[in-house]
Structure formats: structure tokens, C-alpha cells
Amino acid sequence: MSTTFQLDTATSRANPTPAPMRRLTVPAIRARKQDGVTEEPIVMLTAYTARQAQLLDAHCDMLLVGDSLGQVIYGLPSTIPVTMRMMADHAAAVVRGSYHAVVVVDMPFGSYEASPQQAFDSAAMLLKESGAAAVKLEGGEAMAETVAFLNSRGIPVVGHVGLTPQAVNVLGGYGARGRSDAEAEKIVGDARALCDAGACAIVVEGVVEPIAIAVTSAVSCPTIGIGASARCDGQVLVTEDMLGMFERVPRFVKRYDDIAANIASAAEHYAKEVRDRSFPGAEQTYQPK
């Protein structure tokens, strides 16, 4: 078992179950793509808590502790206000709850853009405090020097091109990218620059499908699509989106369940039983012997 901390399974709800397997590694993920072909697509979902990680771990190759937690967990209007402390604490929880998937943690806005040294200091803190295996940062060619700096110092980096949510104020919104020839050319060039700098994988978000296909063909490292193309080397979604936790989700999300309705129904049932005093019943109370 490769969780960061041992938990008392007799007293804690968060009890990762040991399994006779080793955690996947960054090189193993990188090696999925050989000669431009990925026979087994990479499965990635977001995770923010230990219990969520437990439920997703066996089915995923990678778990992303995304800065999307700012919106999903904290109700923030964007990812911009997310802090290093948030990312480190949630990443540590996900590592504790998993034993199979590679855990990747987002570097929040303002923690890496100033210089490669700033990025190293931030990434080192995140990995040391959480036990995650890699960091993810947004940006293309402008971040290539930083990616190379981190990679050469033992920090694996997942890149992120196309729609980059941390740049929403510059982009002017969350619309799909790559509709103009110039923007499409830049996205492909950004991906090449990141791959050449040593990125172990690249998230391609919110781009028109032909550009996602072009990016995947242009780089030797795996691409992980989100609002991109099934021809990417893997896929990632925000777990709460695909589970139907929110009323509004991006166009590219497929809902695999309606967990929000299930939770609301259970809460309604509970409230009814509390009000008519049918809960707690004999099975939920302690009686004198």
C-alpha cells in the first residue's frame, strides 16, 4: 500500500483498503504512448477528498486534484482565488485515499508564473506536503522554460493548453479555443513547446476537435482531452460534473448519473421522518439491557 499516512481503520471512515498492487508511475503513464499511438487510453477524473479518491481510484489511471475545487468545493466564482494551502490539503487527502492512480495536483494561479524558481518552490511544497506524484500548470510556450526547470529537478509536470481557466480574465470567457487559424497554430505550437520541455502529458481543454487531433499527432507525450476529441490519448472530466451534481455543466460533459437528485431525495426522506418522529427508530437507538 502506498498511501501517505496509515489510518486507524477501526475508528475512521477514511480507511484505504490495501491492495496487492503498486501505484502507477509517471513514466508508466508517459509510456502509454509509443510511436504516436496510445493503445490503452488514459482515464483521469478529478478528486478532492479521501473518500472520493477511494471510490474512483480503481477505475482511473490518474486522479487530478484540480484547482476547480475552488468552484466545486468552495463555491468561488473562478479558480483565481484558490490558494496553495487548499491545493496541498486536498491533494494530501486524495493521496491518502488512493493506492493505484497517479495523483496530479494543480498549481494555483500566482504560484508559478513569475519565474522557474518560484514554480520550483511552489511545486516542491505541494509534492512534499501531499505525496502527489506530479504537478499541473497552465500555459504554453511561455511556460516551457519553467517545465524544463522543474523536470530537470525531479518534478514531473503535466501541461495544459487551449482553454486555460486561470487566464479567463485575458481570454474573456470559457468559449472554445482554436477557431481562428492563428489561434489554432498557437495551440499546436504551445503543445510542442511543452512536450519538448519535458512535460509528461498535456491536458487539451476546450478546443475545436481538429485542433485537438492535430495536437495529439504533433507531440510524443500523451494528450488528455476535456472538451477536445476522443482521439486524444486520454480523457478527464470534473467528477461532480459527470455525476450530475450541478444543474449547469459545460457542453462537453456527459452526465453518467444524477447524484444531485438522489441526494435531494434522500434529504427529503430524512426530513420527513424527523418531523413525523419515525426516525430514529429502535434500530438506531440504544435501549437498556
- By annotation, the residues acting in catalysis are 205
Contact 155, 123 (CB under 8 A): yes
186 is in an annotated binding site: no
Residue 266, helix vs strand vs coil: helix
Cα diameter, the chain: 79
136 is in an annotated binding site: yes
Residue 84, helix vs strand vs coil: helix
CA distance 122 to 128: 10
161's grid cell:
493548453
- Residue 162, classified by CB atoms within 10 Å of its CB into exposed (0-12), middle (13-18) or buried (19+), is buried
CA distance 224 to 104: 13
Helices (H), the chain: 26-30, 50-57, 69-72, 84-96, 116-130, 144-151, 168-171, 181-196, 209-218, 239-242, 259-275
Gyration radius of the chain's alpha carbons: 21
Please state the separation of Cα 256 from the chain's center in Å: 18
106 is in an annotated binding site: yes
CA distance 171 to 81: 17
Q: Please name the residue that has the C-alpha cell 491536458.
A: 203
- In sequence order, which residues have a C-beta less than 8 Å from that of residue 261 and are 6 or more positions away? 244
68 is in an annotated binding site: yes
Q: Please name the residue that has the C-alpha cell 460533459.
A: 253
- In sequence order, which residues have a C-beta less than 8 Å from that of residue 60 and are 6 or more positions away? 43, 44, 45, 100, 101
Annotated binding site: 67-68, 106, 136, 138
Annotated binding site for 3-methyl-2-oxobutanoate: 67-68, 106, 136
Annotated binding site for Mg(2+): 67, 106, 138
